[in-house]
């Protein structure tokens, strides 16, 4: 992680990093094509968004059945970029083994939440298609965003398309994160956006707002408990 020193979001308590140009426009297009052409059963439809889970969802005991990630999620993101930066070098499996693909249409979001103890406390998120604002709330603060109970996020991170956001340590364990359900992200400036100095296109947001478009996120994590599929089937067969 030493190579990420220049990408650290210095206004946050440890630890978060932001790389604006993590993948190329061509690589983004390939990833979007793979996601949008995935078989319909791959999509899980929730109340406010839809998602894909690779290689599979966790079991009720927060266990991942061992299986490889598809090649299009490995290259060029994990190999060589994650590997060269050593992002998951300290994680138990030394690489992410689980990816959530979330689609956010304009007006869609997700309530402030935490990822929990099923994962190693590090999240690497690649944003595709459009920018979006991630809101951070201290855990002791009442959940919800402004317009629901008046609570404001303590920090806001603007995630541009093709960017990488890494969160770990206190940002993972002591904060909730969420995305407001809005058609426009507003009040964007160098004072409210904590990664403003790391943005690729800060001039685009000097007007103070950004219209929401369809944004897709790739969330890479390391699930701590992994079960071998063969052993699991053998166990179930003996019941």
- Rounded to 5 degrees, φ, ψ at 53 are -125, 125
CATH number for 61? 2.60.120.590
- Rounded to 5 degrees, φ, ψ at 207 are -70, -15
Whether 239 maps to a domain, the answer reads no
Whether 233 maps to a domain, the answer reads no
Model confidence at 34, pLDDT cuts 50, 70, 90, reads very high
Residue 143 pLDDT > 50, yes or no? no
pLDDT digits (tens, 9 = 90+) for 40-65: 999 999 988 999 999 999 999 999 99
Number of folded domains that form the chain: 1
Mean pLDDT of the chain: 92
* Distance, CA of 97 to CA of 107 (rounded, Å): 30
| Domain limits for position 46 | 5-142+156-227
Whether 64 maps to a domain, the answer reads yes
Whether 147 maps to a domain, the answer reads no
Whether 150 maps to a domain, the answer reads no
Whether 164 maps to a domain, the answer reads yes
Model confidence at 145, pLDDT cuts 50, 70, 90, reads very low
Whether 151 maps to a domain, the answer reads no
Tokens of 128: 């595709």
pLDDT digits (tens, 9 = 90+) for 181-233: 999 999 999 999 999 999 999 999 999 999 999 999 999 999 999 999 765 55
Whether 148 maps to a domain, the answer reads no
């Amino acid at each position: 992680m030493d190579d990420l020193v220049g990408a650290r979001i210095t206004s946050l308590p440890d630890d978060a990093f932001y790389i604006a140009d993590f993948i190329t426009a061509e690589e983004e297009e390939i990833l979007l094509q793979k996601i949008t052409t995935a078989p319909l059963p791959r999509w899980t439809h929730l109340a406010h968004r839809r998602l894909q889970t690779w290689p599979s969802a966790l079991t009720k005991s927060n266990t991942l059945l061992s299986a490889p990630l598809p090649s299009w999620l490995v290259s060029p993101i994990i190999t060589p970029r994650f590997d060269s930066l050593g992002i998951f070098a300290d994680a138990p499996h030394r690489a992410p083994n689980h990816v959530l693909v979330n689609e956010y249409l304009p007006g869609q979001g997700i309530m402030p939440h935490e990822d929990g103890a099923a994962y190693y406390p590090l999240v690497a998120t690649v944003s595709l298609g459009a920018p979006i604002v991630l809101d951070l709330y201290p855990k002791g603060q009442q959940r919800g965003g402004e317009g629901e109970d008046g609570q404001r996020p303590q920090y806001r991170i603007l995630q541009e398309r093709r960017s990488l956001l890494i969160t770990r340590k206190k940002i993972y364990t002591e904060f909730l994160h969420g995305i407001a359900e809005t058609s426009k992200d507003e009040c964007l400036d160098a004072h409210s956006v904590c990664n403003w100095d790391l943005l690729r296109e800060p001039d685009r947001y000097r007007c103070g707002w950004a219209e929401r478009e369809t944004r897709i996120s790739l969330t890479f994590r390391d699930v701590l408990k992994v079960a071998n599929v063969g052993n699991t089937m053998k166990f179930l067969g003996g019941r």
